[in-house]
Each structure stands twice: as C-alpha cells, then as structure tokens.
Chains A and B, each alone.
Chain A
Amino acid sequence: MDGLYRSFGRPLTFGLFVTVALWLFGLILLPQLSMIQRAFQVEDRGGVSAQLSVEIEKLYVRQFEIDQQLRAIEQPAAAQPTAPSPFAPSVGGAPAAPSPNDPFAGLSAGKAPAADPVETEKKRQALIAERADVVARIGELEARESGPAAVDLRYSLENFTSMTAVHFQIFIATLFYALCVTVLAFLVCYPVAYAVAMAGTPDRAALLLLALVIPYAINELLRIFAWVMILERQGLINSVLDWLGIIDFAAGEGFRFVASNGAVFAVMVYAYVLFMVFPIYNTVETLDRNQIEAARDLGASTWRIHTRIVIPHAKPGIAVGAIMTFMLSAGSIAVPEIVGRGMHPDWFSQVIYRRFFEADSWNEGAAYSLSLLAACMVFILAVMAVFKVGIRDIAR
C-alpha cells in the first residue's frame, strides 16, 4: 500500500483502487450474487401474474381491433388495405369482427355501412364506449401487475430440483463432451507446444507462435463459419473428395460432417487451441534441454522421455490449459449452435440459453448456469488434485 503510494503518487493510487474495487464488485461480485439470488428464487409462472399478463395482452388486442373498426367507419376508403390481425380472438362478439379464416372479411365490412348511416352511427357509439371500457380495464390490470402483490416470488431449491431428466442428461453429457474436447485439445496442442518450445532458434519459435496467433486476430464467429464452410455437405472436404473421385456430388453423395458432435469437437478444439498451447509452451520452454538429453543418453525411448521428464515438468501448464479449455468449451454456445444446427445432441449451454430467452425463465436459467459453474469448479479442483498442482504452481 505504502509502496504503491510512493511509486505512483496519490491520484494514480486512488484511481487504481477505484478501478480494482469497481472490477471486484461491479463486474464480479454483484452479477454473481444477483445470479445466485435468482437461482434460488422461484417465480410462480402458473399464478396470478401470468394470468394478468395474458389478460392485459388480450385487452390490447381488442383495443387495436376497435380502433381498426372505428377508422373503417370514419374513412371507408382508407380502411381498405388494413387487414385485421389473424391472432385477434373474437371477444364480445362484435358484429364487425372479422373471421380469422377469411382475410377479405374486413373489406366487405368496410364497404357495407355506406348503405345505412343511422345504423353506422349507432355502431360507432357502441365501439367508442367499449374502447373507453377496455382502456380503463388495461390501466387497472397494469397497476395490479406492477404492484408487489402480483409478483409471487419465494426462495426454494425448486429451480434445481425441477430440472427434467432430459436436461440432466444433457448436463452430464455436456461435462463429458467438454472433457472430450479438453483431451483432444491436449493431444493436439502438446506436440505443437513441444515443437515450438524446442525450436532451434528464437526466430523460428517466434515465427511458429505468430502462425498460431494470427488466426486469433479473426473474429471467433468468422472462424466458426470458416469451419462450417469446410465441413458443409457442399463444403471443402466433400469437394476435395469429389475431385478425387471418392464421392460423387452429382449423384447426391457426400458426407454430412456438420451437425455432429465430432464436428462440434473439432471446431471447439480449434477455437480453444491457444488456451492449451500457451500454458504448455510456457512450462515446456523452461525445461532444461540437458535433462532431455540426459534421459536419452541413459537409454530412454522418446515415449519415456515425454512421460517421465517433459510431461511431469509441464504439469502446471497442462493443468492450466485443461482448466481453461474445459471451462470455455463447457460454456461455449456459438460453436454448438452454429456447427450443430440443432441436429446434434444438445449442449447444456444451449439449454441455458433457451431457459433465459425462449422459456423466458431467468430463474431457472440462473439455476442451470449455477449448476454448470459448480460442476466446472469441481472439475478444476479435481484437475488440481489429479495433477497434484497447487494454486502457487499455476501462478508460476
């Protein structure tokens, strides 16, 4: 504290503390706390508030219909193109209410009143009266909806326990998939990281790393779509196979690589390669090469050199890479969504997304997210235990 003050001066130290505090509270603690709170809160969806909102919705539709009919009466010509909403239920049995089955009903209703002005005026008065009634009722219901009495919230574990068997299966499967991606990423990245770390000259290592980093300058979505281009039925791989004569496009042949978990895995491994390569590279790079030569000199095979010397040394890096890759792939939504096309087994991230934005149930969504977070935490601790790596080793 004193040291900071002395080296940065008062304004900068103050700024630093404010930033750190904002970061800790505003960006980490508060969102998490609100998420946790939501996860343990149950909103009674079948209760009063849901009925209220349905009621209000209906009234708005009725109000719109009345406005349409009034306009048709007042300006017969202008009313012609306005087709009534097909969703409108025929509330109150108004005579002019068009049948949803007949799109031209409004047209004939608009033309008819010209014959009898008295009848029309009577009808107009009735509509105006009804409209005032509807508006008043909307006001009343909306006031009730926003009042505290209507929100039926209580704390419970229901959001977790009510997870359906299908969702739970997807949850378990997703953890397994993420593990698969992690293992695959390790198998791909370890040789790369080792090769870069052992590259003869610093120049060559820099070049190799640059080649690894450049693809990451491209937006993640573009990278995923690039993979779709490759894996698509009419995509690159199938084109090459067609060109080689192995399959025949003209005859409708071709493999469907996309929309399979294999494709999702492949794209994910590619998407998160760097998060595995760099930690491993960083640790392998610090390995004294004489140790590798000493092991070889003592008669060790390449396999043994890696399992006994290099991998034990790189353990902290492997653990960090595995943790990052696992967390990212367990939470990834873009890859399964774009590559999977809904035709592959769902990932839990997609279920969470749908809970939030399609089922409109933020509380369940929060509970699902929290479950995933907890599972990932357990994974981290398990990895650290298996690799016998402490936080301090990782911090290195």
Chain B
Amino acid sequence: MHGQDVTLNGVSMRYPNGFVAVEPTDLTIRAGEFFSILGPSGCGKTTILRMISGFLDPTTGSVAIGGRPMEGIGPNHRPTALIFQNLALFPLMTVRENVAFGLEARGMAKAERRRRADELLSLVALDGQGGKRPGELSGGQRQRVAVARALAVEPAVLLLDEPLSALDLKLRQHMRAELKDIQRKTGVTFIYITHDQGEALTMSDRVAVMNRGRIEQVGDADEIYNAPSTAFAATFVGEQNRFSGTVVETDSETALIETPLGRLSGINRHGLKRGDNAHLFIRPERMAVALNGAAAGLDNRVEAQLERRDLEGPFLNLLMRAGGHPVTLHVTNAGDGPALAPGQPVPVGFRRKDAIVLRAED
C-alpha cells in the first residue's frame, strides 16, 4: 500500500438548483500526507470529498489521482476508499464479511480474503472479533471496522468524512491517535474532512480551511493557528479577540488601525494600505493584564472592565468588556497574579507582533 497525490484543477460544483457548493478550486494533496479540510457545515468540504471519490462529477475542472485524470471513472474504479460519517457498515454481514466485501467484489477467493480480512482486523486491533455483527461492537470498534474495510481494497487515497463525530470526547481523542498511527503505518494518503479544529490541527500534516465553497488557507497547524491569512480563518480556528477599524498608518511589517478603543497595531502580512477597512485579531492567551508593572513591552493598551472570572484549572478565563466590546483573556494560573474582582476596571494589552491585521471582507 502506498499513497498517491491528488490534484484538483479549477474544480467547482454547481448544483442544478443554482447553488454553488464549491467555487473553482486548485489544490494539491501530496502523496502519503494526512490532509484535513476544515470548515463549518455546508462549506462544501463534503462535496470536494465526493468529487474526489467519484460520486459527484465536478461542474468545471478536473480531478487527478497519482497524475491520472479521473474523468469518467466511477467510484468503484478509483484508487480511493471513502469512510462515511455514519460509517455505513453492512449490518447484516459479520465484521469479517464487512472487511472482506471489497475483496469479494474483486473476485478474490474465499480463503484468501478471509486471511486478508483477519490481517486487517489485527492491524486495527480487532483480532478475534471477525465473527460478530457490527451491531454488537462499541462505537470505537465500529470505527476501526470501517477503517479496515476501506483499507482492505488497498486504496492509494483514503477519504474520511467526519468519521469521529459520533464518538464521545475521550474515544475521539483516542481514535485520533489511532488514525494517525494507521496512516503512518500504511503510508496511504488520508484526506480528512472535519469541522472540529482540534482534530484537524492535531492529526494533520496540512490543513485547508474552507468557507462558503472556497478554500481560504492551506498550511500546517502552526501556520493556520499563528498566521491566519483571512478573517474567516482567523476566527474559525481557535478563539480570537477582534477589533475593527481603518488603517491609518503602515510600515514594512506592521499596520496601525484606528478603532473606537483607540489606535492599535499589529502585523500586516497581506499588504493593507491606508484607508482600508481592517480587523485586528489577537488570541486571548496572547493578551495580558497591564497592572503592577506588567505593562512593559505591551505595545497596545485597552481599558477594559472585568465582567467575569472563570477558573479553568491551569488557566483563568477573564471575560471583559471594553467600550461595549467583549474581550477575553486566558491567563496562566500562576497563583501570584493580581486579585481581580468583577466590575473592576482593568487595563489590558498585547504585543504588536502577536496581533494580526487582516482585511475586513464585508
């Protein structure tokens, strides 16, 4: 088994009722990569997956897998295997028959496919469960049966459509590690669809952030989290404090924007110019309370008022308001911070290099 690359060339999908699910998109997924497509429901990520698997034909553009154009090739003849959101295991067959189904369809002899199925079941740590029905297994086990069933046909690309969404949190975290492990062992290209940023960031080699039929950013987890390139990508992944305003001054790296709370500055990576409408994003954990001399090094200052203080063990959530605008801070619970009470005015601040100035889209 080895992975192949997937290339989308200007692929778009427009439904007969006029709804555009996917705008023309170019995307290259490298061979053997764990690639996630992250986006809210209805953003078109499942449509992309279905176009790669062959269940949908793109309205424009073309899909190539391993350099081979896929036009006119049905889902049963593509080197892909799809894992459905609800897994779609065959309830009337045993686990082993489920796993062997793809081999059966390829005309493999019974003894041989039984041996292969048992091999795959042990790969996903389900030895000895082959005789059971899917209904007798737990959620995590069913999940692994679905993976084994898809891997049985030795796909070059495995497509996963939010397969973990039905599991509880603990199991989900466990399965993340297992999927990643299986991907590493098999070397198959994984394309993973999810709306869960935690899943996308922890498992993937690269992530595509998608919104309204358009891919907004492609990058590894660090880039996606630390250097979002659009306002949507900035807000969809993780938490953000947002300050809106107009660019009044720029230099080679930073921009200064005029907001109702005063002038604030941040990194200007996308070449905004004077007069542009912009948002400034700053992560809650990158903000600090500017009291008792802690203000040093904070280029930006905002006067806020504490509304609530939630202790979440390792860190504190400080929910504030600045000029009617909500501001959230995550502060490390060092035990020696200033005592803060709700209703108290608190100056907060952040460093210029932690803030990002992006174009306001609307």
Contacts and interface: CB of A to CB of B under 8 A. Distances in A.
A298 B81 contact: yes
Interface residues on A, range: 10 to 19
A291 B90 contact: yes
A293 B78 CA distance: 13
From B76, B89, B106, B153, residue with most partner A Cβ within 10 Å: B76
B84 interface: yes
Contacts of B93: 308
Contact of B149 (A298, A300, A309): A298
Given A290-B86, A291-B88, A309-B90, A297 B80 contact: yes
A293 B101 contact: no
B77 interface: yes
Interface in A114-144: none
B278 interface: no
A297 B79 CA distance: 9
Nearest to B86: A290
Interface in B281-339: none
Contacts of B104: 304, 308
Nearest to A302: B76
A299 B153 contact: yes
A233 interface: no
Interface in A286-311: 288, 290-291, 293-301, 304, 308-309
From A297, A299, A300, residue with most partner B Cβ within 10 Å: A297
Interface in B84-102: 84-86, 88-90, 92-93, 101-102
A298 B53 contact: no
Nearest to B77: A299
B53 A297 contact: yes
B84 A298 contact: no
A54 B337 CA distance: 122
B210 interface: no
B75 interface: yes
A288 B153 CA distance: 22
Interface in B137-153: 149-150, 152-153
B81 A300 contact: no
B84 A296 contact: no
A296 to B, nearest CB: 5
B90 A293 contact: no
Nearest to B82: A297
B74 interface: yes
A253 B88 CA distance: 58
A299 B105 contact: yes
Interface in A269-323: 288, 290-291, 293-301, 304, 308-309, 312-313
Contact of A304 (B74, B85, B105, B150): B105
Contact of A300 (B80, B86, B101): B101
Interface string B152-193: 110000000000000000000000000000000000000000
Nearest to A313: B92
B105 A293 contact: no
Contacts of A313: 92
B105 A300 contact: yes
Given A296-B76, A300-B76, A290 B84 contact: yes
Contacts of B75: 293, 296-297
B102 A298 contact: yes
A323 to B, nearest CB: 21
From A293, A298, A309, residue with most partner B Cβ within 10 Å: A298
28 contacts: A288-B86, A288-B88, A290-B84, A291-B88, A293-B55, A293-B84, A293-B88, A294-B82, A294-B88, A294-B90, A295-B90, A297-B55, A297-B75, A297-B80, A297-B82, A298-B76, A298-B101, A298-B102, A298-B149, A298-B152, A299-B77, A299-B102, A299-B106, A299-B153, A300-B101, A304-B104, A304-B105, A308-B93
Which 10 residue pairs spanning A and B have beta carbons closest together?
A: A298-B102, A290-B88, A294-B88, A300-B105, A299-B105, A290-B84, A299-B76, A297-B82, A297-B75, A291-B88
Interface of A: 288, 290-291, 293-301, 304, 308-309, 312-313
Interface of B: 53, 55, 74-77, 80-82, 84-86, 88-90, 92-93, 101-102, 104-106, 149-150, 152-153
